[in-house]
Amino acid sequence: MFEQQLMKMLLNKNFYDKNKGHLSRSLFANGTGAFLDTVQRAHEEYSSDLSMDELKALHVEKYNPAMSETAKESFELLCSKISGAPEPNSDIAKDIIKSLYVKDIGHRIALLATEAWNSSDNNKLVEAKRLLEEMDEGAISSEKYEFVTDDVYELFAEINTTAKWQFNLETLGRRVSGIGPGTLTIVFGRPEVGKTAFWVNMVAGQDGFLGQGANVHCICNEEPGCRPKARMMMAWSGINNRNVVSNPNDTEDELKERTELLGEMRDLWRPVMDNLVMPEHVVDWDMNYLDAYIAEQKPDIVVVDQLDKMSIDGTFARTDEKLRAIYTGAREIAKRRNCAIVAVSQASADAEGRYEVTFSMMENSRTGKAAEADLIIGVGKSDTVDSEDHSRGICISKNKITGWHGTIGAILDPQTSRYTI
C-alpha cells in the first residue's frame, strides 16, 4: 500500500526533482516499474505537476502505443489503486525512498561481491565501486542546503566566535586577538627554542585560556604528560622551577621550604585544575581515535603536541602527503566538533638561529600543512652563544583571523614557562 502512496507523491514535480537521485525501477515491484518509467520520462519532458489522467495518456498513447489491451487494463487498474491511495507526509516519503534506495544499492553490491568471490572477476568489483560512487551522488542531490545568513548581527556574532579565547601575550592579543571554535592553529619552532613553553603560557599563564574558563585538553605524545602539566602549574602560579624541584644536596630547611611552596602551588592551581584534562598513554593514538575522543569529551580547546606524530589511515608516497592528510583531518575535526585545535610541530633546519621563522620553514611540509591552518605562529631565536639570552621572535606568517602578519618580540622565562613582552 505504501508503495502506491509513494507513486502518487511522484506526480508532484517538486517532490520528484528532490528525490529523483534515489529512484530506480528495482525499488518497486508489482508492475509499478512501468509506472515509474513513465513518471521519469514525463518529468524530464515537462516542467509541471502531472495528473493521473495525463500520466495514463502519455503512457498509453505516446510512450507505449503498441500496448496490448490486457496491458492497458493492467496499467489502468494500477493507476486507479494509486489514485485511491492516501497521500503520505512528504518528509516521511522522502526518508522511505532514501532508505529503500540505500538497501537496494547494498543488495546489489552484496551480489556483485559474491560473484567476484566465486569467479575472481575484477569487473564485478569495479561495478560495485561505481555503485558506491553513484550512491554518494544520489545522497547529495536530495539534501536540504543551508545558506549563509544576511542578518548582520547574526553574521558578525558568528565571526566574533572565531576569537572567543584571547591570547594572554598583550602585543599578540592586539594583533590577532585569539582563537575559537572551528579554528586550527599551528605553533612551531626548532627544538629547545621555547615552543612548548609558548603553548603552556598560552594555556596556563596569567590570563591564559584556563583563566578565561576554557575547557582545555592537552594530548602530549612528545614527552610524558607530567612534565608539561608541571610547567603549566608553574606558569599559573609563577613559582620558579628551581624552588620546587628537589636537589639531592637539599638541607632540611630547604626541603621544608620546597614542601611549603608545593602546597602554595597546589592551592593556587585548584581554581582552574578542573578546566585542564590530560589523558595518558596517547603515543598510539591516530586521527580516528582523536576524533572519537573529542566527540565524547567536547573540549573547547585541544592542544596536540605533536600533531605530526599522529598516525592516519591510508598509503602515502611522501611524508608531506601524509602530513597534509593529518592536518586536513585536524581542521575537519575542529569544524565538525566545534572546538579550537592547536597543533604543535617542529621547524626544519632552515629555522636554526632565526629570530623570524615563517611557515615555509616547517619540517616535512611543502604547502600542505600551512594550507590547512587558520593561524600559524613560529617561535624563533637568534643564533647566539649566550644561554641567558631569552629573547624570542613570535612570528605570525599566516593569519585568517585578523589578517595581520609580522614578528613580535617577547621574553621567555624558562623557569616558569611564562612569556612576557
- The answer to whether residue 344 scores a pLDDT higher than 80 is yes
Q: Are residues 132 and 268 in the same domain?
A: no
- Tens digit of each residue's pLDDT (9 = 90 or more) over 17-56: 888 877 877 776 666 778 888 888 898 889 889 999 998 8
357 part of a folded domain: yes
Number of domains into which the chain is organized: 2
Per the CB < 8 A criterion, the answer to whether 197 and 241 are in contact is no
- Tens digit of each residue's pLDDT (9 = 90 or more) over 374-404: 999 999 999 876 667 899 999 999 999 999 9
From 141, 168, 199, the end of a domain falls on 141
- Tens digit of each residue's pLDDT (9 = 90 or more) over 140-180: 444 556 788 888 878 777 766 677 899 999 999 999 989 99
**Predicted pLDDT of residue 142:** 47
Percent of the chain residues topping a pLDDT of 70: 94
- The answer to whether residue 138 scores a pLDDT higher than 70 is no
Cα separation, 59 vs 63, in Å, equals 5
User: Cα 264 vs. chain centroid, distance in angstroms?
Assistant: 40
149 part of a folded domain: no
Type of residue at 190 = R
In the block, which residue shows the cell 509506472?
A: 35
Q: Are residues 258 and 316 in the same domain?
A: yes
pTM score? 0.66
What end-to-end distance do the CA atoms of the chain give, in Å?
75
Q: Are residues 177 and 326 in the same domain?
A: yes
Q: Are residues 266 and 412 in the same domain?
A: yes
Q: Are residues 115 and 171 in the same domain?
A: no
Q: Are residues 237 and 382 in the same domain?
A: yes
- Tens digit of each residue's pLDDT (9 = 90 or more) over 271-304: 999 999 999 999 989 999 999 999 999 999 999 9
Mean pLDDT, residues 326-335? 94
From 88, 114, 141, the end of a domain falls on 141
128 part of a folded domain: yes
DSSP assignment letter at 279: -
Cα separation, 223 vs 33, in Å, equals 64
Q: Are residues 93 and 171 in the same domain?
A: no
Residue 218 is inside which H or E element, if any?
A: strand 216-220
Residue 241 neighbours by CB under 8 Å, 6+ apart: 234, 414, 415, 416
Q: 10 Å Cβ neighbour count for 155?
A: 12
Q: Are residues 338 and 415 in the same domain?
A: yes
Q: Are residues 173 and 298 in the same domain?
A: yes
From 141, 166, 181, the end of a domain falls on 141
The CATH number given to whatever domain includes residue 350 is 3.40.50.300
Q: Are residues 227 and 118 in the same domain?
A: no
Task: Give residue 28's region: left, alpha or beta (phi > 0; psi -120 to 50).
Answer: beta
150 part of a folded domain: no
Domain that holds residue 334: 157-246+253-420
- The answer to whether residue 1 scores a pLDDT higher than 80 is no
DSSP assignment letter at 319: H
